[in-house]
Amino acid sequence: MVIIDDPIILSSDELAAVTGGVWTNPRLVPVILRVAMNPLTACPGDLLITTNREQWKLKRLETETPDALNTLLQKGGVAAVVRRTSSLDCSVNLLRVDDTYQALLAIVAAVRDKASARRVLVTGTDGKTGFKMQLHHLASGQVSVNARLDSNNMDRGICTTLANTKRHHALSIVEVAVSRKRLGISRSQWVRPDLCVITEIGYEHLATHGSMDKLIAAKASVVSGLVDGGCCLIKSDPRYFEQLRQAILSYRNVPILSFGEGVKDLGRLVGAEFDAARYGWQVQAEIDGRSLDYFLPLVERHAPLSSVGALTALHLAGLDAVQAAERFADFKPYATSGRIYPLPARDGVYIVYDQSRHISLFGLDDFFYTAARLAPKPGGRKLLVLGHVYDEREYGPLVRELLPPTRLRSLIEASGIDMLYTVGEREEFEAFLAGTNIPWQHFSHPQALIEPLHNGLCANDLLLVKGDQNEKMFVLTEGLRERAKQSPNKTITVRDRDNGGKTRRGDGI
């Protein structure tokens, strides 16, 4: 891999000017390669924006400490933004400002306005990170792309994405979480996007919003920051399309385009056939009248339509959708989107469908339809690990009305599994699994299930894991991967994705 280091777009003098700050040694400010906010993940050439209790709302994020600067120094960081009143001193150059939070926002605005990259804002209740990853991968075959290749979509993630837009970037993709209307408005003003994409309307954070009407209004609020001439792309979902469209227009009278399966959609899914042997779909689509035929290496039921949405967004960003579609062939999904990989068993190989980092009511239908479509190799079994589903903190007290337990049970039974393992509070699962004919075992936490599964899985088995990062279900899948690496009988190499090829520092910050 070839790494090309480009400095951030603002000079040291510009950084001082836009923040109203003063460098401790203005004649010796080194080249700054990246704006960062976490000293623990700092890289050589980083400028650390420090946080403090007095000026930042979240006290747990405090980094304006001697330890933080020492860590930054050890990792090769070259400068930090601190309060003017701070007594901190360090061998890295300090930019002293009145308010580090306001300094960050000033840097973001200055970089945004100086950079030539077109900006795409991605939001929605489900699928934001996966959609962003698709855009980044597909667009990278044509232009230089800036994006965070993780799921950090709140203030820190948004600001560091924008602040690290470089001169060579032609496209900047910013994932934005919107848990309140006021956040949608303020965050979209930070981004000032050329294109807003609303991926999906589901039930995530419904308890926070209070109602579906408020949830939809909050998602629609991101268009308030659109630049003149910008537009919005949404899914032509018959459940919420018209309500979302009206909510968008209540903020801004902007062009609203859609992707879906209808003749009026700018991006249209024409057909999709699942290829069980290749774990993917052969997709036929039309993007603004141009026909496309491509293989999509994702197994989820929603994947073909989501891919059409990504291609439509790239078309609106001025890229060639036909050329972009060819890059789907080697696309690797992000961890929260679900992955399929083989692991060695005692006498062969078993397959894991790993959705251990995200669970949502909206996505469970899709997961179980996908589970029903997937089959183990001849002689193998299909096993399911299921984590906490009915989260009242996330969805409110009516969570069981959104997905009735009887429906969840029917989805499980229709998925064709031979063995079920549940993780969490046993009472939750007993309420809808009592009396089921599926063999069922319960474990209080994911760690307890690693050894039983590792010792019991056989060649040709298919293991389905559905859980959430909050309950650390990934501990189970990571544990199985570690056991596989240590297995004396392993017949395959277990590797994470390798983003080969030429990249630049800041492309995927």
Per-residue pLDDT at 397: 82
Could you give the C-alpha distances from 185 to 26, 225, 303, 429, in angstroms and in order? 36, 7, 29, 40
Of 209-213, 239-243, 480-484, which gets the smallest average pLDDT?
Answer: 209-213
Query: Is 164 a residue whose pLDDT tops 50?
Result: yes
Q: What is the pLDDT of residues 79-90, one digit of tens each?
A: 999 999 998 888
Query: Is 507 a residue whose pLDDT tops 50?
Result: no
- Closest Cα to residue 119, out of 176, 72, 200, 182? 176
Q: What is the pLDDT of residues 441-457, one digit of tens each?
A: 999 999 999 999 999 99
Q: Classify strands 34-36 and 46-49 as parallel, antiparallel or unpaired.
A: parallel
- Closest Cα to residue 366, out of 294, 421, 306, 285? 306
Contacts of 290 (CB under 8 A, 6+ apart): 321, 322
As given in the structure block, the two tokens for residue 462 are 């298919």
> CB–CB of 423/471 below 8 Å?
yes
Q: What is the pLDDT of residues 409-450, one digit of tens each?
A: 999 999 999 999 999 999 999 988 988 899 999 999 999 999
Residues 249 and 232: their CA atoms lie apart, in Å, by 10
Residues 92 and 101: their CA atoms lie apart, in Å, by 20
Residues 73 and 13: their CA atoms lie apart, in Å, by 22
DSSP structural state of residue 327: G
Q: pLDDT-based confidence at 498, cuts 50/70/90? A: very low
> CB–CB of 340/299 below 8 Å?
yes
Q: Which residue has the tokens 């057909």?
A: 271
CA angle 220, 509, 216 (to 5 degrees): 10
Residue 290 belongs to what H/E stretch? strand 290-296
Q: Classify strands 382-386 and 419-423 as parallel, antiparallel or unpaired.
A: parallel
The strand pairing partners of 289, in sequence order, are none
As given in the structure block, the two tokens for residue 326 are 């060819």
Q: What is the pLDDT of residues 458-495, one digit of tens each?
A: 999 999 999 988 889 999 999 999 998 887 655 454 44
Judge residue 146's burial from the number of C-beta atoms within 10 Å of its C-beta, 0-12 exposed, 13-18 middle, 19 or more buried: buried
**Backbone phi, psi, residue 360, to 5°:** -145, 150
DSSP secondary structure of 218-252: HHHGGGGGPPTT-EEEEE--TTTHHHHHHHHHHH-
Tell me the helices (H) and strands (E) count for the chain, helix number first: 18, 22
Residues 137 and 143: their CA atoms lie apart, in Å, by 10
Quick one: what percent of the chain has pLDDT higher than 90?
Answer: 74
When pLDDT is averaged across residues 46-71 and rounded to a whole number, the result is 87
**Backbone phi, psi, residue 81, to 5°:** -100, 120
When pLDDT is averaged across residues 111-120 and rounded to a whole number, the result is 98
When pLDDT is averaged across residues 14-33 and rounded to a whole number, the result is 93
Residues 187 and 222: their CA atoms lie apart, in Å, by 7
Residues 386 and 36: their CA atoms lie apart, in Å, by 36
Domains and CATH numbers, the chain: 3-105 (3.40.1390.10), 115-334 (3.40.1190.10), 338-486 (3.90.190.20)
Per-residue pLDDT at 501: 36
- Closest Cα to residue 96, out of 50, 130, 154, 35? 50
> CB–CB of 308/114 below 8 Å?
no
Q: pLDDT-based confidence at 45, cuts 50/70/90? A: very high
As given in the structure block, the two tokens for residue 32 are 């700054």
Contacts of 445 (CB under 8 A, 6+ apart): 423, 424, 472
| Neighbour count for residue 346 (Cβ, 10 Å) | 14
DSSP structural state of residue 202: -
> CB–CB of 352/383 below 8 Å?
no
Residues 257 and 267: their CA atoms lie apart, in Å, by 9
